Amino acid sequence: MSLTLENFPPATLPPHAEALRQEVKAFIAEQLAGVPTHIRARTWAGFNADFSRAMAARGWIGVTIPKEYGGAGLDAFARFVLVEELLAAGAPVAAHWIGDRQSAPLLLHYGTEEQRRTILPRICNGELFFCIGMSEPNSGSDLASVRTRAEKVEGGWKLNGQKIWTTYAHKSHYMIALVRTSGTSEDRQNGLSQFLIDLSLPGITVRPIMIGTGDTDFNEVFFEDVFLPEDAIVGTEGNGWKQVNAELAFERSGPERIYSSLVLLDLWARLLGDNPDTAQAARLGRLVARLAPLREMSVAMTALLTQGHSPITEAALFKDMGTEIEQQIPAEIAEAVAAHPDVAADPELLRTLAYLMQLNHVFSLRGGTREILRGMIARGLGLR
């Protein structure tokens, strides 16, 4: 096994997808008029329910979900165009992000007809926001060791345990959680199942975690004898690990893995003016040169996904490099700004830079750490 250029066949976004772009640009220009860059820099970490509902009103949440379930019935290419424009502009997409990217496709693929009928239309109309329950206090990268357990009881399941680092759980309506339904953490990937959890149920406590910047995107979520109905299970009991892995290519292959610092890059580029010195032009160009093949890879993987492939190793390789450039952009611009201590930097540039400098080190943690991804690449290379 190896990884070659053939793993990323050249692909283009088809005209029907590109046709969406100008409309999306116009929408964003109108919605985000006057929003400063340091707020835009939050992109897919920025939670704005009004913005998400305005998106839903356009039919732009769940675009890949079939029309019969409330979606737009478009393909992954259309979603790529939509998401690329949203991220490049720094639109606050967090409220609907998880539901749109992962939960709705998961329910479409593995859910029951009843789950699809009741949940999908409400994701698509911006009514329901989702979070993902994966990590636990003692299960980070070692996800298969999760201990939160759902026990079979009369008429359903009884859930006990705890999730942590659950992004926007405190503002979400539902969680899709990976929990143990049989065996022990010694059984690793076996005996895990996914559940659709209504976060308003009794026995659930959501406690925000404040991070050093003062932000509270993360949460601890506690489950104490939570009764889940029979039909809360998603897919097949015991099949949770496989289902979670099927999501990985979707979670790791998108433009959100390369554009998290883009609004900063573009503000800085604008401020360079028409005649930057060679060093600054080279700094900008080298970052662009790294972004270019990554965008190509992302489009290529979108094509592979539409063809029914699951490019998990490719997505790991892309995400590892993508988050590296997302981290590098603030680092480079910080270096450029601080290289001239005697020159007053643009205040908005400084604000945006300061925000990203305090968070860029975690860009490589969310959605699978660098070390885990490189381990997956090594497996793809036949080393493990």
Partner 1 sequence: MNDEDNFLAEAFRRQLGAMITPAAIRAVEEGKSATALWAELNESGFVDAMLPEDAGGAGLDLAQAFPLICAAGEFAMPLPFAETMVARGLLARHGVGIPGPGAIVMAASSNLLPGARHADHALVGGDGGSALVAITAQGDDLFNTGAATSIEQGELIATFAAEPDTVLVCAAAVSSALMAGAMARVLEMSLRHASERQQFGRSLGKFQAIQQQLAVLAEQVLSAQVAARGAFVGASFDPVRVAAAKCRANEAATVVCNIAHAIHGAIGVTAEFDLQLYTRRIKQWQLAFGSEVYWGARLGLARIASRAETTADFLRLQLATKAD
One-letter amino acid identity for 232?
Answer: A
* Least distance from partner 1 to the Cβ atom of residue 142, Å: 14
Q: Which two tokens stand for residue 323?
A: 């988050």
Alpha helices by DSSP H, 101-177: 104-110, 113-124
* Least distance from partner 1 to the Cβ atom of residue 384, Å: 7
Nearer to partner 1, 194 or 323 (CB): 323
CA–CA dist 114, 103 (Å, integer):
15
**Site residues (CB under 8 A) for partner 1?**
2-5, 7-8, 10-12, 14, 84-85, 87-89, 255, 259, 262, 265-266, 269, 272-274, 276, 278-286, 288-297, 299, 317, 320-321, 371, 373-375, 377-378, 381-384
CB burial of residue 105 (10 Å; 0-12, 13-18, 19+):
buried
Query: Is the CB of residue 227 less than 8 Å from the CB of residue 153?
Result: yes
Nearer to partner 1, 41 or 226 (CB): 41
Nearer to partner 1, 229 or 293 (CB): 293
Nearer to partner 1, 70 or 254 (CB): 254
CA–CA dist 84, 256 (Å, integer):
8
Nearer to partner 1, 49 or 372 (CB): 372
Q: What is the DSSP letter of 17?
A: H
* Least distance from partner 1 to the Cβ atom of residue 7, Å: 8
CA–CA dist 163, 189 (Å, integer):
17
Residue-wise DSSP of 260-273: TTHHHHHHHHHHT-
Nearer to partner 1, 85 or 220 (CB): 85
* Least distance from partner 1 to the Cβ atom of residue 48, Å: 20
* Least distance from partner 1 to the Cβ atom of residue 191, Å: 27
Nearer to partner 1, 61 or 301 (CB): 301
User: In 107-142, which positions are buried (b, 16+ CB within 10 angstroms) versus exposed (e)?
Assistant: bbebbeeebbebbbbbbbebbbbbbbbbbbeebeee
Strand 130-133 versus strand 174-180 pairing type: parallel
* Least distance from partner 1 to the Cβ atom of residue 374, Å: 4
CA–CA dist 368, 110 (Å, integer):
23
SS3 call for 105: helix
* Least distance from partner 1 to the Cβ atom of residue 90, Å: 9
